[in-house]
Amino acid sequence: MDAALEYATLNNALRLSGIWLGYRVLVAVYNVSPLHPLHKFPGPKLAAASYIYEAWYDLVKGGQYTRRIKAMHEQYGPIIRINPDELHCNDYNFVEEIYPSVTTRIRDKNPHFLASFTPPLTVATFGTRDHETHRERRSGISKFFSRQGMLRYEPEIHDMAQKMCSKVLHLSQSGHIINALEPFNCFTADAISQYCFGEPFGFLDQPDFHKNYTRAFESLNTTIHVFRHFPIMRNTVALMPALAPFLGPDIQYLMKSMNEIIPGYVKKAQNNHSADTRRVFSEIMDSPIADEHKTTFRLSGEGWSLVAAGSETTAAALVHITYFLLAQPETLARLREELKNEDPHKLSWVDLEKYPYLHGVIYEGVRLALGVPARLPRIARTEDLVYKNRGFHYVIPRGTPIGMSAYVSHTDEEVFPQAEEYKPERWITADGKPDYGMEKYIMSFSKGARQCIGMNLAFCELYLVTAIMALRILPHLKLHDTVYEDIKYDWDALTPQPKKGARGVRLTSV
Ligand code: HEM
């Protein structure tokens, strides 16, 4: 012990720091040298040299790296190097290579991306790194979220959507100012909870909309970049349950929901797996996936990920749609005219899908709400990818993470002229039909075999709620002191964030 203390001197500490610094400089020199496998890819030399460049934009400038990546594409072309090990693409023609829909082409997730998350999210399908484990975990839940599955669930979604809209109308007419994100989050969280666990969280049954997961998700968002650049900080999460009484109420609620509430629902559903209602977590126990994927801990991660992925994202798209329908009265008038023969209390998702303008209203909302704004990289473990387009020719070595970003894609003026504007017409063909061909440009749900599993649920909710709102409640509501900057994407956490101080879409009675 004494001998060890003898070495713990300031001089030795300085020596060690010097060695470490020297090593980091050597690594940076190697990263930009012709010896590095990615040296031919264009991009700022500083970004190629060290992760500090990315961390600067994420941590110091506050979630600005995706915007920086967009600017880099303008300067350097469709494939660029954005950190020592990773590439970024801005070309739709390469989507099927990066995000293949066939599961025979192996795609892993990037550890640098996954470093943002902590257990139990890391054992959810979303947080799974390798292709093979992902296939097995996803197969345990995918059948529940098929179009057929959602058509069976639709009547319950319909009732919850009606209930939410009636309550918004009632509260606004009693003089309340409503932050639109709250009712939408209550609705989407109850809908996913009812489907997964066989009972809703009960958010729609409270007298107002105040209790929901909005602030818990916000707390989760604050840690994303810190954990990505300092993965060691993830260990603090293990201490959180003990520290919870000293933390803010939002973090407390987040911890409670991750460690108690969701596992509680999962356990109840697991024990109830003989029930005849078709619920995800009661039936998952009978699915042919390995028992190691059926533990309460792992299923709690799956449950939490489904709740987080299934509520915040769809709610954000509904917020955008609500804002633009109220800010652009001519858009709402055209939508109401299109839907005028529908009974607002008896709507059907399949029937609603046929309306071209409604299709445009929804896709424009999904485009501008972005889903996940930043890159979602994939690693082709077993094959080199060849990019040959727009006068560029690159061979992307196997094992290299490469991704695309919804923000970069959705603001591409070549595909979406006047991209900042909300224009449902851009989703309609010249002969007045929904332009399904344009859907390929939407990156909100990611693409390929690891794309969003909840797209059918999301669209069922979006079609029903948008139509109910347009027909039943929006004519009785107006925006309260709200401008686009109150929701417009400014920086990224996991989900898109508006400028600091933005107050969301606030609704009041006309
Ligand atoms: C507008 C609504 C939604 C948007 C924009 C959205 C967006 C996304 C995105 C971008 C991903 C891919 C993440 C990645 O590549 O790493 C994803 C994955 C996922 N989403 Fe959604 N989502 C939405 C709604 C939902 C809903 C309603 C559910 C509920 C079931 C859901 C469940 C999931 C799950 C479980 C995954 C992980 C899939 C996998 O890794 O295989 N999402 N979502």
For position 488, which CATH number holds? 1.10.630.10
Counting beta carbons within 10 angstroms of the beta carbon of residue 375, is it exposed (0 to 12), middle (13 to 18) or buried (19 or more)? buried
Could you tell me if residue 246 is inside a domain?
Answer: yes
Could you tell me if residue 33 is inside a domain?
Answer: no
Distance from the CA of 52 to the center of ligand 1, in angstroms? 29
Q: What is the mean pLDDT of residues 108-115?
A: 97
Give the pLDDT band (50/70/90) at residue 235: confident
pLDDT value at residue 2: 65
Give 419-478 pLDDT, tens digit per residue.
999 999 999 999 999 999 999 999 999 999 999 999 999 999 999 999 999 999 999 999
Interatomic CA distance for residues 304 and 298, integer angstroms: 10
pLDDT value at residue 220: 78
Give 144-164 pLDDT, tens digit per residue.
999 999 999 999 999 999 999
β-strand 86-89 against 401-403: which pairing, if any?
parallel
Mutation pick for ligand 1 pocket among 452, 455, 489, 495 (CB with most ligand atoms within 8 Å): 452
Per the prediction, the chain carries an average pLDDT of 93
Interatomic CA distance for residues 460 and 141, integer angstroms: 18
Could you tell me if residue 65 is inside a domain?
Answer: no
Assess whether pLDDT exceeds 90 at residue 198.
no
pLDDT value at residue 217: 81
Could you tell me if residue 236 is inside a domain?
Answer: yes
- Percent of the chain at pLDDT exceeding 90: 78
CA atoms within 13 A on the CB side of 319: 36
Task: Find all residues with CB under 8 Å of 331, minimum gap 6, and list them.
Answer: 324, 325, 361, 422, 424
Interatomic CA distance for residues 470 and 123, integer angstroms: 40
Ligand 1 pocket, residue 495 CB under 6 Å: no
Could you tell me if residue 398 is inside a domain?
Answer: no
Distance from the CA of 8 to the center of ligand 1, in angstroms? 50
Decide if 419 contacts 368 (C-beta within 8 A).
Answer: no
Residue identifier of the C-alpha nearest atom 5 of ligand 1: 371
What DSSP character marks residue 58?
A: I
pLDDT value at residue 282: 80
Interatomic CA distance for residues 36 and 491, integer angstroms: 31
Assess whether pLDDT exceeds 60 at residue 486.
yes
pLDDT value at residue 99: 98
Q: What is the mean pLDDT of residues 375-392?
A: 97
Distance from the CA of 68 to the center of ligand 1, in angstroms? 25
Q: What is the mean pLDDT of residues 330-336?
A: 98
Q: Return the number of other C-beta atoms located less than 10 Å from residue 237's C-beta.
A: 16
| Token pair in block for residue 388 | 């040959």
CA distances from 34 to 30, 130, 181 (A): 8, 30, 50
Assess whether pLDDT exceeds 80 at residue 7.
no
Distance from the CA of 306 to the center of ligand 1, in angstroms? 8
Q: What is the mean pLDDT of residues 301-321?
A: 94
pLDDT value at residue 302: 93
Phi, psi of 109 (to 5 degrees): -90, 160
Assess whether pLDDT exceeds 90 at residue 391.
yes
CA distances from 7 to 2, 20, 23, 197, 398 (A): 9, 17, 22, 57, 44
Give 283-306 pLDDT, tens digit per residue.
888 888 898 999 989 999 999 999
Domain hosting residue 459, numbered range: 115-372+406-442+444-509
Decide if 194 contacts 207 (C-beta within 8 A).
Answer: no
Could you tell me if residue 50 is inside a domain?
Answer: no
Q: What is the mean pLDDT of residues 396-425?
A: 97
Helix (H, G, I), strand (E, B) or coil at 455: helix
Number of domains in the chain: 1
Q: What is the mean pLDDT of residues 101-120?
A: 94
Assess whether pLDDT exceeds 70 at residue 241.
no
Give the pLDDT band (50/70/90) at residue 1: low
Does the annotation flag 165 for ligand binding?
Answer: no
Ligand 1 pocket, residue 192 CB under 6 Å: yes
Could you tell me if residue 2 is inside a domain?
Answer: no
In 319-359, where do the E strands start and end?
Answer: none
pLDDT value at residue 3: 66
Q: What is the mean pLDDT of residues 341-365?
A: 98
Interatomic CA distance for residues 466 and 415, integer angstroms: 25
pLDDT value at residue 212: 84
Residue identifier of the C-alpha nearest atom 6 of ligand 1: 445
pLDDT value at residue 274: 60
| Token pair in block for residue 319 | 């917020």
Q: What is the largest CA-CA distance in the chain?
A: 87
Of 368, 316, 374, nearest in space to 58 by CA: 374
Helix (H, G, I), strand (E, B) or coil at 405: strand
Give the pLDDT band (50/70/90) at residue 276: low
Helix (H, G, I), strand (E, B) or coil at 319: helix
Tell me which of 134-143, 255-264, 383-392, 404-413 is least confident: 255-264
Give the pLDDT band (50/70/90) at residue 245: low
Could you tell me if residue 306 is inside a domain?
Answer: yes
Decide if 160 contacts 194 (C-beta within 8 A).
Answer: yes
Give the pLDDT band (50/70/90) at residue 30: very high
Decide if 473 contacts 163 (C-beta within 8 A).
Answer: no
| Token pair in block for residue 109 | 């997730």
Assess whether pLDDT exceeds 60 at residue 246.
yes
- Percent of the chain at pLDDT exceeding 70: 96
More confident residue, 83 or 258: 83
Interatomic CA distance for residues 48 and 54, integer angstroms: 10
CA distances from 166 to 87, 159, 347, 371, 508 (A): 48, 11, 15, 27, 14
Atom number in ligand 1 closest to CA 127: 40
Amino acid, res. 229: H
